[in-house]
Amino acid sequence: MLLKSRIAASSIAEVVIALTIIALCFAVASLVFVRGTSMVSRFQDVRHQTEIQSALFESLLKDNDSIRDHEFEDITVTITADENSDTLEVIEFAAFDNRSVWKQQILKPTR
């Protein structure tokens, strides 16, 4: 037999408790790491939303359709007709991974 001496039951229980605490610490640390790395993309989304809203407000003040020609960094702009109204269009701003950053309904331009 490998072990010549007996191991006390209390020391086995102590090892199990210690391993459980270590595993719990690793789980909490990994959760904090994952949440911390995902926060960067949320701050990026807030920055993109602020840029989009300021461009929309600027085009509203100038009373023109400059939002259609505006270039956004890492954002694709899609303009579709609104399903519920003939006089509205839906402008959707999506990030590079097809996440919707902002969706805005506007009046169709009079042509």
* Domain boundary assignment for the chain: 13-107
Question: Residues 6 or more apart from 72 whose CB is under 8 A from it?
Answer: 48, 51, 52, 55, 93
pTM of the full structure: 0.47
CA distances from 62 to 5, 35, 52, 57 (A): 88, 41, 15, 9
Q: What is the pLDDT of residue 111?
A: 61
Q: Are 48 and 75 in contact (CB under 8 A)?
A: yes
* Strand arrangement of the beta sheet that strand 88-95 belongs to: 75-81, 88-95, 100-107
What tens digit of pLDDT does each residue of 24-58 get? 999 999 999 988 777 666 777 777 778 777 777 77
